[in-house]
Amino acid sequence: MEFSIKSGSPEKQRSACIVVGVFEPRRLSATAEQLDEISEGYISNLLRKGDLEGKSGQMLLLHHVPNILSERVLLVGCGKERELDERQYRQIINKTINTLNETGSMEAVCFLSELHVKGRDTYWKVRQAVEATQDGLYSFNSLKTHKEEPRRPLRKIVFNVPTRRELPIGERAINHALAISEGISTCKNVANMPPNICNPAYLAEQAKILSNDYEKITTEIVDEQDMEALGMGSYLAVGRGSDNESLMSIITYNGIDDDSKPLVLVGKGLTFDSGGISLKPGAGMDEMKYDMGGAAGVLGAMHALAELDLPIKVIGVLAGCENMPSSKAYRPGDILTTMSGQTVEVLNTDAEGRLVLCDALTYVERFEPDAVIDVATLTGACVVALGQHATGLLSTHNPLAHELLNASEQSGDRAWRMPLWDDYQEQLESPFADMTNLGGKEAGTITAGCFLSRFTKKYHWAHLDVAGTAWRSGGKNKGSTGRPVSMLTQFMLNRAGQEQGE
Ligand code: BES
Ligand code: MN
Ligand code: ZN
């Protein structure tokens, strides 16, 4: 899809379709008003007859509107003018794109980017519109023999902005959105890939592809032999039951030559989590192919970063591993020695994510990070607490937590903070080792965070639990969401000091 920005009046557009908003009850937006005048009341007449109330998401397609140069006019219901918020705006855009694809228009000029969305500027409206469009167009069908390519005539969308002064702002929004959408698409492609194809070696290959495609990226792979030498006893234990070797991919993006310290992103990359000896129940187990969603998110964010060519240093770590039962597998009762030297009594082999991450988090100390953010589908408890709407955010460093919350607010990729108070640490006490890997029934997301916090004392650290947000469950709609690529990329844009709006 091609996107561009224009600043013009609706009656002068000569396009296959022009898209304008109508509010509830039957109130024309400013641009719809202009079209109405030129067409001598054609549109207001229709509204008076009751053809469109203006409810959010309603669509009315008109052909040959008198005196209008464009072939079609699409009237889009936007709800009550004063209630138009971010969520509604995104939904309206999504529906508009679907409708446009059904009309046969190859090109459209969209005036919805001029609507007033509470607290949001032109940059935001254009960027969200492009991201929503790209998100809606995604499909994963590389493994179908009969690829039913849906009919999608729409090739080009022009977003209109109210003043010429805003043209560069809109253009920057498109560029940012396209880079982020590419990252999201990379994330979705790897995450949706089945676990017989997407194993730790496959993750490592994807990392190498990035370094082949971008000059500023280099990739290094840490294999099991290296991990033995490094003393990563905890990470290795989790992968022991699988014939697929554990591989940790280190993706380095060097956007600036100075003595600044890097940001480090660490992704949980369980390409399949069967639970191991503490085997999971069978129903829905296929979805544990998404247990590498954190790694996919980090890969996607690195891709977006490289596309944006930001002047910062970032290291992305994909902690690839497979958790399987076998006679070689680690067991409940085992006591593991982590790379940090701390010992862990395994009470459940299904609490494996923290065991892989703790060693990866110790490993990254060598980079002397400015900050470390790990991303993981870590706990079912997070899905219970926040559902599919918000990513769980836990951090021992308030400024970093606020930076992330800000980025999530700006990008619309929501996160919500949970506490990491010391009171919860007690739940990890073991009679035999420094800690257990199981915090008990209560506050599972927090105790998992507490576990990780014991390995992150040497730097500023935040943890994103994406168990509820990384993919959609069940049935036909199952699939990766590409989250939290948008939030992470926003975070990096902010760090790079990239202006957005004025
Ligand atoms: N990958 C799972 C967490 C998960 C479960 C994410 C369901 C999304 C949906 C993780 O490895 C796991 O199994 N966690 C256990 C931890 C428990 C044994 C302490 C869980 O959440 O049940
Ligand atoms: Mn598990
Ligand atoms: Zn897991």
353 Cβ inside 6 Å of ligand 1: yes
Kindly state whether residue 174 falls inside one of the protein's structural domains: no
Task: Count up the domains in the chain and report the number.
Answer: 2
Beta strands in 141-262 (DSSP E): 156-160, 217-222, 247-254
Asked if residue 463 and residue 319 are part of one domain, the reply reads yes
Asked if residue 214 and residue 154 are part of one domain, the reply reads no
CA–CA distance, 28 with 497 (Å, rounded to integer): 39
CA of 353 to the centre of ligand 3 (A): 5
What CATH number corresponds to the domain at position 488? 3.40.630.10
Asked if residue 126 and residue 72 are part of one domain, the reply reads yes
Kindly state whether residue 500 falls inside one of the protein's structural domains: no
Asked if residue 267 and residue 238 are part of one domain, the reply reads yes
CA of 389 to the centre of ligand 3 (A): 20
* Main-chain phi, psi angles of 315, to 5 degrees: -120, 125
Q: What is the mean pLDDT of residues 266-292?
A: 98
Asked if residue 387 and residue 313 are part of one domain, the reply reads yes
Asked if residue 206 and residue 151 are part of one domain, the reply reads no
Q: Best mutation site among 379, 386, 452, 471 for ligand 1, i.e. most ligand atoms within 8 A of its Cβ?
A: 379
- Which residues fall within 8 angstroms of residue 341, CB to CB, at 6 or more apart? none
CB under 5 Å of ion ligand 3: residues: 270, 273, 291, 353
380 Cβ inside 6 Å of ligand 1: yes
Task: Return the active site residues.
Answer: 280, 354
Asked if residue 141 and residue 22 are part of one domain, the reply reads yes
Q: Which atom number of ligand 1 is nearest to the Cα of residue 352?
A: 11
For residue 340 the two structure tokens come to 């940090």
Q: Which of 127, 161, 195 is the last residue before a domain boundary?
A: 161
Q: What is the mean pLDDT of residues 350-362?
A: 99
Asked if residue 155 and residue 183 are part of one domain, the reply reads no
CB 245 within 8 A of CB 224: yes
CA of 377 to the centre of ligand 1 (A): 8
What CATH number corresponds to the domain at position 106? 3.40.220.10
Q: What is the mean pLDDT of residues 239-261?
A: 98
311 Cβ inside 6 Å of ligand 1: no
CA of 365 to the centre of ligand 3 (A): 23
Asked if residue 134 and residue 244 are part of one domain, the reply reads no
CA–CA distance, 62 with 50 (Å, rounded to integer): 14
What own/partner pairs with CB < 8 Å and gap ≥ 24 does 453-458 have? 453/394, 453/396, 453/420, 454/340, 454/342, 454/358, 455/338, 455/340, 455/342, 455/357, 455/358, 455/361, 455/362, 456/361, 456/372, 456/396, 458/365
Kindly state whether residue 168 falls inside one of the protein's structural domains: no
Domain of residue 77 covers 2-161
CA–CA distance, 312 with 281 (Å, rounded to integer): 44
Q: Which atom number of ligand 1 is nearest to the Cα of residue 278?
A: 18
Q: Which of 161, 188, 204 is the last residue before a domain boundary?
A: 161
Task: Give the residue whose CA is nearest to atom 13 of ligand 1.
Answer: 350
Kindly state whether residue 392 falls inside one of the protein's structural domains: yes
Asked if residue 73 and residue 12 are part of one domain, the reply reads yes
Average pLDDT, the chain: 97
**Tens-place pLDDT, residues 15-36:** 999 999 999 999 999 999 999 9
**Tens-place pLDDT, residues 445-499:** 999 999 999 999 999 999 999 999 999 998 889 999 999 999 999 999 999 997 6
Other residues' Cβ atoms within 10 Å of the Cβ of residue 229? 9
For residue 81 the two structure tokens come to 């003018």
Q: Which atom number of ligand 1 is nearest to the Cα of residue 323?
A: 11
**Tens-place pLDDT, residues 175-226:** 999 999 999 999 999 999 999 999 999 999 999 999 999 999 999 999 999 9
Task: Tell me what pLDDT residue 155 has.
Answer: 94
Kindly state whether residue 14 falls inside one of the protein's structural domains: yes
Task: Tell me what pLDDT residue 153 has.
Answer: 86
Task: Tell me what pLDDT residue 147 has.
Answer: 84
C-alpha neighbours within 13 Å on the C-beta side of residue 42: 16
Task: Tell me what pLDDT residue 22 has.
Answer: 98
Task: Tell me what pLDDT residue 499 has.
Answer: 62
Asked if residue 411 and residue 303 are part of one domain, the reply reads yes
pLDDT beyond 80 at 422: yes
pTM to 2 decimal places: 0.97
3-state SS, 260-285, equals CCCEEEEEEEEEEECCCCCCCCCCCH
- Which residues fall within 8 angstroms of residue 409, CB to CB, at 6 or more apart? none
Asked if residue 235 and residue 139 are part of one domain, the reply reads no
Residue 502's pLDDT band, with cuts at 50, 70 and 90, is very low
Kindly state whether residue 355 falls inside one of the protein's structural domains: yes
Sole residue written with tokens 């940059």 = 123
Task: Tell me what pLDDT residue 268 has.
Answer: 99
CA of 198 to the centre of ligand 3 (A): 15
Q: Which atom number of ligand 1 is nearest to the Cα of residue 444?
A: 19
Q: Best mutation site among 323, 346, 350 for ligand 1, i.e. most ligand atoms within 8 A of its Cβ?
A: 350
Kindly state whether residue 482 falls inside one of the protein's structural domains: yes
Kindly state whether residue 171 falls inside one of the protein's structural domains: no
